[in-house]
Amino acid sequence: MRDVDLRVYPDQCDALAHLNQAASLALFERARWEMLARGPGMDLFRRAGTWPVIRKTTIEYHAPALAGDVLRFSQTLLHHGRTSFTMRQTARRLGDDVLIASAEFVMVCIDESGRPTPVPEELGRFMEAAGVPSGEPRRLTVNGVRLAVELAGEGPPLLYVHGFPLDRTIWRHQLAGLAHWRGIAPDLRGLGQSAAPDLGYSMATYAADLAALMDTLGVTQAVLCGLSMGGYVVFEFLRRYRERVRGLVLVSTRAEADTPDGRRARDANATLVRERGAPALADQMLPQLLAPTTLQNRPEIVADLRRLMAAAPVPGIAGALAAMRDRPDSRPLLSSLGSMPTLVVAGEEDRLIGLASARAMAGAIPHAKLRTIPGAGHVCTLEQPGAVTGALLEFLASLG
Ligand code: MLT
């Protein structure tokens, strides 16, 4: 299953502000193209010398969508024949998850003279790569805590560690796009859909959770890929279980510890969350997490991030803030990484952790390559998924 979030605008609605049926068909089509744009590229069909045309559409409207609603379009490949395929799509409203419409599109691939041509194999691979549908993680109890874990793809293990106060879904495009790797994406304890104990959060505990998760899945060694706080966890993992790390991807993160002001800000944020709840922190953090262009032009990403941050459990947020506040300086670790293959990825418009930190980190790691991502802020995995997945693909291929 592949998900794309799109907003309903007033010009798509009737006098009662209901999404018009023709506009809803256009949204289904937009979701299909957007899905390809974020994955293998909108030119997937052209590359294969073919073009998809619709043979049959079946659509059921279940509930009205209103101007301003953000709809989650989920795409599944129901049938993949030689020259035709069937795509099932549903549209659900974000927030209350009400099913707005469900549809099936039978498409035939044709060449310029209208003759049926084979469906590009890449389409099947891309659609099937998601493995477990997003939103349906496995539940595994490791190190005494029940974690939600998404598994996707086949191949050498690649463990994704998300940032704060986010969850595994920030990796959804990479999980889908790196189908030849065995992607393992847990929600860290206290965040996403994992259990949130009241106490006991530290970088050491997160790292021990990951080691126990690898044990449970029978994984001895993995490439570790951490975004922001996920990077802090990866540094701790390296200090404790270095022999289990095959390679490193450090995304939107930094090696230095918090400054005294930074530590005070962690405590202030913990107080804010305890007094006013997670949505207050979400509102405060959002402008820092995304590039200005994303904030302006990609309302579906803004809404998605806000939703997942606002839903994060308060003990998990407060615990993560304390763990980040107390984390050690990881700079001494960097030069000791020796021949560890490492990729550093940084959004060029990251306002939370500037490019300078990424450059310094890459410069201090003996075998690191730096990739900067134009048009992306801190959560570059969602903002420029194609560029980030491409950088990972290239790096992972270099591991042999
Ligand atoms: C994150 O994105 O994981 C955190 O915001 C990083 C931090 O606050 O240091």
Q: Is the pLDDT of residue 400 over 90?
A: no
Atom of ligand 1 nearest to the CA of 163: 3
Ligand 1 centroid to residue 336 C-alpha, Å? 24
> How far is C-alpha 44 from the chain's CA centre?
22
Rounded Cα–Cα distance for residues 24 and 65 (Å): 9
Q: Please name the amino acid found at residue 147.
A: L
Q: Residue 130: pLDDT above 90? A: no
Give, as one character, the DSSP assignment of residue 153: -
* Ligand 1-lining residues (CB < 6 angstroms): 163-164, 228-229, 324, 352, 378
d(C-alpha 328, C-alpha 326), whole Å: 6
0.75 surpassed by pTM: no
- The rounded Å distance from CA 119 to ligand 1 centre is 43
Least confident among 40-44, 344-348, 358-362? 40-44
* DSSP tag of 112: T
Where is pLDDT greater, at 121 or 156? 156
Q: What is the mean pLDDT of the chain?
A: 93
CA of 198 to the centre of ligand 1 (A): 20
Ligand 1: distance of its center to the CA of 249 in Å? 16
Q: What spacing in Å lies between the alpha carbon of 252 and ligand 1's midpoint?
A: 9
CA distances from 267 to 79, 102, 258, 261 (A): 53, 46, 12, 10
**Contact assessment for residue 190 and residue 366, using Cβ atoms and an 8 Å cutoff:** no
Give me the pLDDT at residue 338, please. 92
Half-sphere exposure (CA, 13 Å, Cβ side) for 249? 30
Ligand 1 centre to CA of 76 (Å) is 33
- Quick check: 22 pLDDT over 70? yes
Residue of 160, 191, 229, 264 with the most ligand 1 atoms within 8 Å of its CB, for mutation? 229
Task: Compute how many other C-beta atoms are within 10 angstroms of the C-beta atom of residue 115.
Answer: 10
Q: How far is the CA of 349 from the centre of ligand 1 (A)?
A: 15
Q: Give the pLDDT of residue 260.
A: 98
| CA 54 – ligand 1 centroid, Å | 45
Per-residue pLDDT tens digits for 197-226: 999 999 999 999 999 999 988 899 999 999
Give the nearest ligand 1 atom to 254 CA. 9
**Percent of the chain with pLDDT strictly greater than 70:** 97
Nearest CA, atom 5, ligand 1: 164
pLDDT of the residue at 176: 87
pLDDT at 128: 66
pLDDT of residue 131: 44
Q: What is the per-residue pLDDT for 264? A: 98
Burial (0-12, 13-18, 19+ Cβ within 10 Å), 167: buried
Residue 229 alpha carbon, nearest atom of ligand 1: 3
Determine the distance separating the centroid of ligand 1 and the alpha carbon of 370, expressed in angstroms. Answer: 20
To test the pocket of ligand 1, the residue of 203, 234, 326, 352 to mutate (highest count of ligand atoms within 8 Å of its CB) is 352
Give the three-state DSSP class for 180.
Answer: coil
Q: How much is the average pLDDT of 96-110? A: 87
Residue 60 pLDDT exceeds 90: no
Secondary structure of the chain: what % helix, strand, coil (to 5)?
40, 25, 30
Crossing angle of helices 229-241 and 203-216, rounded to 10°: 70
Q: What percent of the chain has pLDDT over 90?
A: 80
Atom of ligand 1 nearest to the CA of 253: 6
Residues in contact with 39: Cβ distance below 8 Å, sequence separation at least 6, in sequence order: 2, 126, 173, 176, 177, 385, 386, 389
Predicted local confidence at residue 126, as pLDDT: 84
Residue ranges of alpha helices (H) inside the chain are 21-38, 44-47, 121-128, 172-177, 203-216, 229-241, 260-276, 278-289, 292-297, 299-310, 314-325, 331-334, 355-364, 380-383, 385-398
Atom of ligand 1 lying closest to residue 164 CA: 3
pLDDT for residue 133 is more than 50? no
Mutate to test the pocket of ligand 1, among 378, 380, 381, 383 (most ligand atoms within 8 A of CB): 378
Flag whether pLDDT at 134 surpasses 80. no
Closest C-alpha to ligand 1, atom 9: 229
Do residues 250 and 226 lie in contact, with contact meaning Cβ atoms separated by under 8 Å? yes
What would the DSSP string read from start to end of 342-396? EEEEEETT-SSS-HHHHHHHHHHSTTEEEEEETT--S-HHHHSHHHHHHHHHHHH
Task: Give me ligand 1 centre to Cα 357, in Å.
Answer: 13
Mutate to test the pocket of ligand 1, among 353, 357, 361, 381 (most ligand atoms within 8 A of CB): 353
Report d(CA 394, CA 390) in Å as an integer: 6
Atom 7 (ligand 1): residue with closest C-alpha? 229
Give me the sheet containing 145-152, strands edge to edge: 138-142, 145-152, 182-186, 157-161, 222-227, 245-251, 342-347, 368-373
